[in-house]
Amino acid sequence: MRVPYGYQRSGNEIIVNPIQAMVVGQIYDLYLQGRSLGGIANELKAQGIHSPSGNAVWARAAVDKILVNGKYAPAIVPADKYWRAQIERERRTNIDDDGRKAARYNSQNVLSGLLICGECGKNYRRITRPIGEVVWRCADKVENGKNALCKNSHTVSDMEIK
């Protein structure tokens, strides 16, 4: 059996790992302060904290996995904080009641929803590439990559848009 991040084996027992438990608590705190999964991952990287798999870079999925794991409450994260995070995850999700991704993308950027792909008609999304460059891309390309129906849409830098 694999031990979740924040815990460790001690003989036949599983106990709290105090250093990792502080990181788990920080993840919940940052999330409840409004930080995105990517923002939290970047913050942990900037602090030099290694991911559960030992990588210097945290994946958004690793942060999300910690947020959904009920094994952190109440031993590492107070139960009320865990449940507030679950409510916040539900509020932020783009999955509709039928289990499908919602068609509408939600961003706080003032231009979101205003830029439309001339080829497929979907909205352009503001994304940050791994190298830190901010660009706008067709939602079809963002969601489906090489399998996108939209083949000729252009990626536009954030500076060009502004």
User: pLDDT at residue 40 above 90?
Assistant: yes
Torsion of CA 81, 86, 92, 94, to 10 degrees: 170
142's CB contacts (< 8 A; 6+ apart) are 125, 127
Dig out the tokens for 76 from the structure: 């590492």
pLDDT over 70, % of the chain: 90
pLDDT over 90, % of the chain: 51
Q: What is the pLDDT of residue 19?
A: 97
118 or 9, which is more confident: 9
In the chain, the domains with their CATH numbers are 7-92 (3.90.1750.20), 124-161 (no CATH)
CA distance 104 to 1: 39
Q: What is the pLDDT of residue 97?
A: 58
15's CB contacts (< 8 A; 6+ apart) are 7, 8, 9
Q: What is the pLDDT of residue 149?
A: 84
Q: pLDDT per residue over 60-115, tens digit each?
A: 999 999 999 999 999 999 999 999 999 888 877 766 556 655 554 455 667 777 78
The model carries a pTM of 0.62
Tell which residue, 56, 83, 66, 65, has the closest CA to residue 21.
66
Q: What is the pLDDT of residue 76?
A: 97
